[in-house]
Amino acid sequence: VRTLSTPARPPVARILTIGDELTFGEVVDRNKAHMARRCRALGLVVESMVTVRDRVDEIVDALHDAAFRAGVEVVLCSGGLGPTTDDLTAQAVARAAGVPLQRDPESLARLETLFAARGREVLEINRKQADLPAGGAVLANPIGTAPGFAVELIPGDHAGQHGMVPSGRAPCLVCCMPGVPREMHRMLSEQVEPRLRERLALDPAPARVYRVFGRGESQVQEAITPALRELASSSVALAAVLVHYRAHQGEVLVQLEATRASTGERATEVDLIGFDAPFRDALGRDLYGIGEADLPTRIVRAAAAAGVRIAGAESCTGGLASSLLTAIPGASACFVGTHVTYTNAAKAAHLGVSEDLLAAHGAVSQPVAEEMARGAQRAFAADIAFAITGIAGPDGGTADKPVGTVHLAVAERDGQVVHRRVRLPGDRDFIRRTASLGALRLVWDGLVDRGVATTDHSSAD
Amino acid sequence: VRTLSTPARPPVARILTIGDELTFGEVVDRNKAHMARRCRALGLVVESMVTVRDRVDEIVDALHDAAFRAGVEVVLCSGGLGPTTDDLTAQAVARAAGVPLQRDPESLARLETLFAARGREVLEINRKQADLPAGGAVLANPIGTAPGFAVELIPGDHAGQHGMVPSGRAPCLVCCMPGVPREMHRMLSEQVEPRLRERLALDPAPARVYRVFGRGESQVQEAITPALRELASSSVALAAVLVHYRAHQGEVLVQLEATRASTGERATEVDLIGFDAPFRDALGRDLYGIGEADLPTRIVRAAAAAGVRIAGAESCTGGLASSLLTAIPGASACFVGTHVTYTNAAKAAHLGVSEDLLAAHGAVSQPVAEEMARGAQRAFAADIAFAITGIAGPDGGTADKPVGTVHLAVAERDGQVVHRRVRLPGDRDFIRRTASLGALRLVWDGLVDRGVATTDHSSAD
């Protein structure tokens, strides 16, 4: 255990994900982002992230590179703990640490109990999951068969091989977790993070995020730059606040990170709150929220708390907007239902959009979007209903209504309707997602108008 | 250009993604998987993938490590080509190659035209995007402002720094693309891949993938092992076929990869087709398809070709199953619509599920799932309609109906209904996704039953 005084250099973690399915590109690696996000929240710096194949020598190289060449304090690994012949992480870590594999009796007993409960026979390939590097700590996996483990790599042991190891360097802790995301998430929070907090002098930088929908990255930057200049000139600590911009699915995130000035001063969480008011002034309603909670999360929380019932009508997004809302736990407290109407006949039958209106304006039009929203409001006796109709492509565009043309509308119980037309760039996925978020933005504005939603700080969980 | 004879060792590519948003974990990095998939299709081996921050020295290190220490032939980079101060990739590549940055007149002219068309002023930070490493090749970006570039790193130039460079090693081609996925995808296929094909002796390994839904990884392995043994014993080439298993969202993929035997023999694409019949026998209906096309893609293609109209009724999945179908281009040729009914009242009003039935069995039950499917079939005059009702969690479970209990049903126009109850492990996201795919699997079975769908090989595009 190191001293808990503020370190001059924050501890560095490397993230290592292991698996042929990753280097083959068959799986999008979400584990990396999750581990990186947690590292940042803990105050660990992630300088680089590496993915290697299921090959013992390549995993060993990656571990030695992190521990001995780069001198990182922690390696967080996921993947390669399964029962099959291409799961080689335990073997590789044992070799990297210069220890044998040992069958862990407790892990084996747990495996046997688990298999018995499922009425399955324990095969030798299953027992292999209890073979862990000797001398390591077992990381319990309450929701899966593969236990994780934590092992120390001691630089001195391998100095000869690498020739770049300063003497007296601290050991590197290698924490190996399963590749199954939910098992990894839980092991990281319950088993790994407490160990890291105890072992390392962690001092996370105060941070704050502002969420903007409806302006591009450079427009956001332009709008808030005067406020940023003024704040930066007010103190050494505020001048050392870094500002990052991130564009994502039509949304822009402005992230503040309080770094330490050369004087050692650093802005506090409370100091960062001082950015809220000037940013609200500069961005108006496009600043929909502060904090980690995203748009669907904020909508579900605000509407559920206020007892506002939300419904929808979707054409080109085909259920995606509703799926984004219902992905949020507790959505049933506000979301009532949606009619996904892909055909004109379905729009007429279920949303009461008249055939005349469809014939006169086409399905992708302001009047139809507005009628769809009204229809959904009535069909579900909702307080607020959104509607989306557009051309997601790749086909179906015309000179008049090119691919990316989307009409959004929101209808309130009192009959009031708000409409917006957007022309979105990008491919089918981007258009569908941005259109869905655009409709949810209109719902959000409706909640703000009725005074049940604010941009106040709100965390993800 | 090298000789085009079959290389003893296939060329190795490293994938490098650049950006603080990645090492902060704010963005799930999909670019890596895309580049890796394309590499594999081209016959390039990806041994490892690296992500670094927007720091010049760290990008330079990562490039030198790839080109000089690991000796890879190609580095595919994405990210860091934007206009802001934290976009440093061009600067880093120039330094790694030992060349200055030079403003490219053609790229600048294109930028100016683009901005003029949008009525925007070109700022100096925008012009910076035309500053490219001298001597490199420009990679056109027809859909964005940042051009890419390709630069050679010559090992000999930096041997002194690294001390591990064998003389006479071939130069490493570094290809830098934007981080915006659709811009990267297009630049990779139009600009980078042709260069790689011309430059390298590429010889992709024949491969074939089998898609299984409804069995676990080890059950699949057990079922096909006898067939694999028999095939492997029939020839040296077939014995050298590697088999990978991958479990993903309730689905298992079995992947064959024809590697070269020590004799130099290798199975051909045609040889691999020989696995189809024994796998079909061993896996029955759970083998829903062969090739890259996934379940939603196959359903849309088969139903559209046969003129089968699909509708849905979703409760706990809240639109996700419909969203998976409508994500496929051309879905409008078969998908009609879905009623997302989150409340009992909505199930009664729009799907005709009687209040009595709901009161007697609860919303999560076989009779309600079946009525929902029948209701959707009627409401949309569909040929086949799926229904999903279950408990996605985290709350709402009971001893009798724990979280993860889902009832799926499919109703045909003739009144026939198929029901399946599943108990899914995992979190809300996993349950919603697997339940959605489970319903689509029943739709698929319905299409197979009517003879309009087969497990035949089908590619992704």
Name residue A205's amino acid.
A
Check CB contact under 8 Å for A329 and B394. yes
Q: Please indicate whether, in this complex, the C-beta atoms of B53 and A48 are within 8 angstroms of each other.
A: yes
**Chain segment A435-457, per-residue pLDDT in tens:** 999 999 999 999 999 999 998 88
CB contact under 8 A, B24 and A35: no
A156 DSSP assignment: G
- Element containing residue B64 per DSSP (H, E): helix B56-64
Q: Taking CA atoms, what residue in A is nearest to B382?
A: A346
Instruction: Report the distance separating Cα A83 and Cα A92, nearest Å.
Output: 15
Report whether B362 contacts B368 (CB < 8 A): yes
What are the φ and ψ backbone dihedral angles of A339, each rounded to 5 degrees? Answer: -100, 115
Local structure of A12: helix, strand or coil: strand
Distance CA A255, CA B288 (A): 45
C-alpha B236/C-alpha B225 separation (Å) is 18
- Select from B148, B14, B151 the least CA-distant residue to B95: B151
Q: How far is it, in rounded angstroms, from Cα B38 to Cα B16?
A: 14
Residues in chain A: 461
How far are the Cα atoms of B1, B203, B240 from residue B5, in angstroms, in the given order?
A: 12, 9, 21
Phi, psi of B355 (to 5 degrees): -60, -35
Q: Is A349 on the interface with B (CB under 8 A)?
A: yes
| Mutate which: B338, B428, B436, vs A, most A CBs within 10 A | B338
For residue B292, the Cα-to-chain-centroid distance in whole angstroms is 9
pLDDT interval class at A161 (50, 70, 90): very low
Minimum-distance CB partner of B327 among A52, A425, A432: A432
Entry field: residues in chain B? 461
Q: Which of B310, B298, B249 is nearest to B459 (CA)?
A: B298
Query: Which residues in chain B have Cβ-Cβ distances shorter than 8 Å to A314?
Result: 319
Cα of B38 vs its chain's centroid, Å: 11
The answer to whether the CB of A141 falls within 8 A of the CB of A175 is no
Q: Is the CB of residue B38 less than 8 Å away from at least one CB of chain A?
A: yes
pTM above the 0.90 mark?
A: no
Residue to test with chain A: of B22, B50, B51, most A Cβ within 10 A:
B51
Rounded to whole angstroms, the Cα distance separating A246 from B38 reads: 27
Tokens representing residue A301 in the block: 């929380």
Tens of pLDDT, residue by residue, chain B (461 residues): 333 344 467 899 999 999 998 999 988 999 999 999 999 999 999 999 999 999 999 999 999 999 998 889 999 999 999 887 778 999 999 999 999 999 999 999 998 998 888 788 888 888 889 999 999 999 999 988 899 999 999 876 554 444 444 446 789 999 999 999 989 999 999 999 999 999 998 999 999 999 999 888 888 999 999 999 999 999 999 999 999 888 887 899 999 999 999 999 999 999 999 999 999 999 999 999 999 999 999 999 999 999 999 999 999 999 999 999 999 999 999 999 999 999 999 999 999 999 999 999 999 999 999 999 999 999 999 999 999 999 999 999 999 999 999 999 999 999 999 999 999 988 899 899 999 999 999 999 999 999 999 988 888 76
Spell out the residues 6+ positions from residue A178 whose beta carbon is closer than 8 angstroms to its own: A78, A79, A81, A82, A141, A144, A146, A148, A184, A187
Decide if B312 and A49 are in contact by the 8 Å CB cutoff: no
**Can you spell out the DSSP letters for A171-197?**
PEEEEEE-SSHHHHHHHIIIIIHHHHH
Give the closest of A21, A32, A84 to B29, CB-based.
Answer: A32
Contact check, Cβ <8 Å, A429/B40: no
Q: Does A253 touch chain B (CB under 8 A)?
A: yes
Q: CA-to-CA distance for B274 and B195, rounded, in angstroms?
A: 34
Question: Minimal Cα distance from B310: which residue of A?
Answer: A342
Closest CA to B191 of B141, B131, B144, B133: B141
Q: Which of residues 59-78 of A touch B (CB under 8 A)?
A: 62
The Cα–Cα gap between B461 and B446 comes to 24
Q: Cβ B24–A36 below 8 Å, yes or no? A: yes
Cα angle value A98/A103/A104 (rounded, 5°): 105
Residue B427, CA distances (Å) to A295, B353, B394 in order: 21, 28, 7
Distance from CA of A439 to the nearest CA of B (A): 15
Most distant pair of Cα atoms in chain A: their distance: 82
Q: Using a CB-CB distance cutoff of 8 angstroms, which residues of chain B are in contact with residue A127?
A: none
User: pLDDT tens for residues B307-356?
Assistant: 999 999 999 999 999 999 999 999 999 999 999 999 999 999 999 999 99
